[in-house]
Structure 1
Amino acid sequence: MHLFRFDGGRIGLTIDGASYDITEPLGIDLGAWPPVQMVALIADFEKRTQGITRHPRCRQIDMARVRLEVAIEWPNKLIAFPVNYVKHGEEMKSKSRADLSGFFLKANSSLSGPSDPIVLPEYPGREIHHECELGIVIGKKGRNVSREQAFEYIFGYACLIDVSLRGPEERVMRKSFDSFTPFGPWITTADEVPGPGSLQAKLWVNDELRQNANTRDLIVDIPGMIEVSSKVATLFPGDIIATGTPEGVGPIKRGDRVRIAIEHVGEMTVQVK
């Protein structure tokens, strides 16, 4: 299944090739603040969506006629693992790796959707780079989760671009500008993603293939990231983990098109402004 947000916070579901607007059947208040409707749905997904396509207020939609938005607008946490591929560490001449430095947090407000542009801030003489990453979505509350149990806590996966201003500032600052975490185009539920530890991930800029790698090459693998994260902070439904980027990062500029595709997960193209 694919779970997505569209057209002003409405919630959609794609199942067996058909897409549905499930906003009214769920009783979603589109004006509610904070906008945690998707997080609440993920926390109780099976119960709240059982038989939902038969609900009298459920309507089928044409995906070509909707505007997709960021799949999770307001997660509790956006966790990111830096330098989590050996070759990326080599190209960046990094003295650290994810198995040594752990993770950091990005601002939730950096999240943007597949229909939103990456908006570049004014930093003359500085490069801003794309980073192709798999995004993990947590499905249930967990603390001190073991490697063996880790996959039980995953709700699904999405494409994620970690946009980074290069320079001397703290990593959190350089990666937390608004629009610096394009995420989507939807959440693909975990049951639809065979072998998440061996997914091909690619990124293009203006049709030039820049990044092409496989999650099997992660330094800290998916169970390891959940284990490490949950030792420090309780994981909650809707939390997002950015798994790190492979080699091939490079600059983007206004007018560019950035396309990311991850096997079994999805594909999206975002504009740079």
Structure 2
Amino acid sequence: MRVAVIGAGRMGSGIAQVFLSAGAHVAVRDPLIDPAPAIGRGLRTAQSKGGGSADEALGRLTVGAVPYDSDLVIEAVPEDPGLKASVLAEVEEQVHDGAVLATNTSSLSITELSAALKRPERFLGMHFFNPVPVQRLVELVVTPATQVLEQVRGYVGLLGKTAVVVNDSPGFATSRLGVLLGLEAIRMVEEGVASADDIDTAMTLGYGYPMGPLRLGDLVGLDVRLAIADHLHARLGPRFEPPELLRWMVARGELGRKTGRGFYQW
């Protein structure tokens, strides 16, 4: 199997790593980032926990152009609809007609992105979760035109992950529910209901969540949370209006783990 990943940030590198671990040949394209060091570290970590040979997997990694004979191309560039549409339209011209194209997005409209393509029936959303090598879910987002669902469901199975299928709608299923919970948790901090740590502890111990909504927001990035909330607010109305505390923290550069400070010190 030949997979191409466009974008070598945290998500793109993680997606490349899991396909390499599953035995695929993977090409990664990013004009700004060399993906090999991050992917290599991830593969060596997996090897130390009983995974396959990191060196063997890295031997199937190439960096640069998207191969014409790619079976699956996953776009994983930042959450900018114009950028994503441009990248998808460009790569569609670089691969054979039977290739499957996918976008890794947590909230953008798959239908609107498909308008840039000549073969929308071979396109869908593949929403991976961070960190990709650990998280077991992939949310597959389809439009009425999508004809490759079962093929892609098979690819997800090869990764040892579980697929859920969602019809294209703002925020899909996971972001729509997860962001709503996260925004309410932020409002509770803003209103002095409880501390961030106590809110998270209430959800982990009381409801069995593996991670509280505020710590998860720090992990995802509060700027990312804000961008998704603004998008859902515009599409779905006032229940997704971002709290002022979230806007204030993002403006101050308190974005969570990636800046060392959010609702927690990292």
TM-score (structure 1 length as normaliser): 0.26
Q: Which has the higher contact order (CA 8 A, sep 6+)?
A: 1
The structure richer in helix per residue is: 2
The structure richer in strand per residue is: 1
TM-score (structure 2 length as normaliser): 0.27
